[in-house]
Amino acid sequence: MMLSFCYNSPSITPFSSPNTNTPFLTTLNFNNRTLAFNNRFRILSNSQKQQQQQNSTSLLSFLCPLLKLFSGGDPSGQRNFTLEVATSSLASLSRFAWGSNSKVESSNLPTTLQLFEFEACPFCRRVREALTELDLSVEVYPCPKGSVRHREVVRKSGGKEMFPFLIDQNSGISMYESGDIVKYLFEQYGEGRSPSRGLLESTIFTGWMPTILRAGRGMTLWERSTPDPPPGKLELFSYENNPYARIVREALCELELPYILHNVGEGSSRVKLLVDASGSKEVPYFIDHSTGFQSGDYKKILHYLFETYSAAIV
């Protein structure tokens, strides 16, 4: 289950929290150093290796290549927003209440979690749903198919390109396998709670529905996305099963833009942070610290993202 065991060295630069002004890029540089550190200390027992092989050949993994059947097409082109919202709302319905509510009293922990994932991946979805339930903020490093930047970090750190992949700077652990990640997160941050009923088992059944209904959005790198990472920190207030926030996350993924994801599910104590930033409790709310752009309108956010971070004319 766990791929690496390492410790937090006091000599390592402190992890950047969303409340600091540290540019997001700094964190990624820090990652590179940390990941090299992780590699040096990776210890795999035979049983772990066996487990890893079993996991990678699991039935669920075999279904993943089917994702390639869905091609999202040009994400920067004219969209039928009625259809977009309808399909995203159906996707939300298909996931019932998973990823909508916060189940724990948030302790407003500093962000120590880094999630390498892509929006359309059903296994990544399960982890994002758990993060909403746990009321945790996380740094998201999108790894859409065809992308290189963050995928390389995963390959170097964990040994293979499989998603989701989690790094927790707090415990020094990095791991694959969505089920293991969800269990780990609840053990570490769940204050004794368990994932809500069916969350762990639901991926095989309806975890695919948002992927299918959204016709591959949030799966593949947009070929005209700018090759460089954003110069500053991007932040998104969201919760996993919000239909409008999903549309924004898909775009961030297709542009391979890393961002800090603040989960603000029903009951989240992060609402105050959101209201302070936006004056409202509504999600999505997006902030680009390098330009000062901020908006709670998903259409404006999409327009901004493709205008700023791709060569597309929108």
Ligand X SMILES: N[C@@H](CCC(=O)N[C@@H](CS)C(=O)NCC(=O)O)C(=O)O
What residue ranges bind ligand X (CB under 6 A)?
55, 58, 60-61, 64, 121-123, 145, 161-164, 177-179
- Integer-rounded Cα radius of gyration of the chain: 18
Q: How far apart are CA 114 and CA 17, in angstroms?
A: 12
CB of 104 to ligand X, least distance (A): 23
CB of 3 to ligand X, least distance (A): 13
Strand 165-168 vs strand 137-142: parallel, antiparallel, or unpaired?
Answer: unpaired
- Considering the complex, state which of residue 125 and residue 262 has its C-beta at the smaller distance from ligand X: 125
- Residue-wise DSSP of 269-292: TTHHHHHHHHSSS-S-EEEETTT-
Is-cis flag, bond preceding 164, omega within 30? Answer: yes
- Considering the complex, state which of residue 55 and residue 226 has its C-beta at the smaller distance from ligand X: 55
CB of 201 to ligand X, least distance (A): 12
Q: How far apart are CA 303 and CA 314, in angstroms?
A: 6
CB of 177 to ligand X, least distance (A): 5
Sheet containing 113-117, strands listed edge to edge, beginning at the edge strand earlier in sequence: 2-4, 173-175, 165-168, 113-117, 137-142, 259-263, 234-238, 285-288, 294-295
- Considering the complex, state which of residue 145 and residue 183 has its C-beta at the smaller distance from ligand X: 145
CB of 119 to ligand X, least distance (A): 11
CB of 93 to ligand X, least distance (A): 21
Residue type, 197: R
Token output for 288: 């680009």
> What residues have CB less than 8 Å from 4, skipping those under 6 apart?
38, 39, 41, 42, 43, 157, 158, 172, 173, 174
CB of 313 to ligand X, least distance (A): 29
- Considering the complex, state which of residue 55 and residue 170 has its C-beta at the smaller distance from ligand X: 55
Q: How far apart are CA 280 and CA 268, in angstroms?
A: 14
Q: Which of 192, 193, 195 is nearest to 181 (CA)?
A: 195
- Considering the complex, state which of residue 186 and residue 286 has its C-beta at the smaller distance from ligand X: 186
CB of 58 to ligand X, least distance (A): 5
- Considering the complex, state which of residue 162 and residue 236 has its C-beta at the smaller distance from ligand X: 162
- Considering the complex, state which of residue 59 and residue 313 has its C-beta at the smaller distance from ligand X: 59
DSSP letter for 3, please. E
- Considering the complex, state which of residue 217 and residue 270 has its C-beta at the smaller distance from ligand X: 217
